Amino acid sequence: MSASIVVVGSLNMDMVVSLNHRPDRGETVLGKDFFMNAGGKGANQAVAARKLGAEVAMIGKVGNDLFADQLLANLEQVGVDCSAIEKTAEEATGVAFITLDPQGDNSIVVAAGANLRLTPEDVRKQEGLIKQAKLLMVQLEIPLETVKEAITIAKRHQVPVLLDPAPAQELPKELLAMVDYILPNEMEIAQLTGVEVSDQLSAKLAAVELINKGVSTVFAKLGEKGVVVVGANRTFFVEPYKVDAVDSTAAGDAFAGAVGAALVNGKDIWAAAKFASAIGAITATRKGAQASMPMLEEAEKFIKEAAHNQ
């Protein structure tokens, strides 16, 4: 088994309800519609990269239940190698409860379940898979010690590491020093650096803090304000694509998967950021997580039409 990208991360079943406004404390709100969709940051990023042409394998853990079978079937349908995803009877498959307002903004509560059973030992068993990859992708919906082990193995074999630091939490400097590419949004980069981010300048200042902590390249995501990319010797800004957002649930994961796919395909960080911005924009125009992510042909058509309309 081999893959150009190995994703170590979470798999969740997303339960999404649309509503007019999110409830305040003690308030009951009647939702408008409900649907379930395959999700989890790790699985989302694996699907995004696979849909864009990368060969992807995933390391993760699910329960021994109906949701597990549905999530694995969805990954296999798009061509993600699931042979390193294990089932456990100790926990249910992870779930996420998502509320979606009319502006496409969301609030998410995750019950991690089996994702928290993914151990460093589970990752060590897959060292052979990681060592042959061109890129390791990790997030923070699994135990931090497991993330550290995956990154340590990757660096042992000179495999570049892409980290999406979500959900936001403080990270030790020794972990950050092993990261080649980090993709925080405004809240996450503020959590990591103590620098409040609201615009391009503050994003650059915060990114420089991460560079000083040892990260090689920072993709600071500012949502509808674009992306600031900072490396050791270069900084640039990627203008956002203008779209009518419907659901932002997996736009960040689509962005990460697109960056990964672009990098293993030989694109530089500027081209990767520009490409990923388009993928995130397309994803935000549709409801759902993995189902909302575009195939490569559709993405190329979107980018071409956007360039024509400028």
Candidate list 81, 244, 253, 268, residue with the active-site label: 253
Is 253 an active-site residue? yes
Backbone angles phi, psi at 194, to 5 degrees: 80, 5
Q: Side chain identity at 106, as an amino acid letter?
A: N
Residues contacting 120, CB < 8 A, separation 6+: 145, 146, 148, 149
Residues contacting 289, CB < 8 A, separation 6+: 14, 37, 38, 39, 44, 249, 250, 253
Answer for the pair 58, 43: CB distance below 8 angstroms, yes or no: yes
Widest distance between CA atoms in the chain:
54
Q: Side chain identity at 133, as an amino acid letter?
A: A
- Binning the chain into helix, strand and coil, the percentages to the nearest 5 are 40, 25, 35
Pick from 75, 116, 84, 109: which is nearest to 95 by CA?
A: 109
Q: Which residues are catalytic?
A: 253
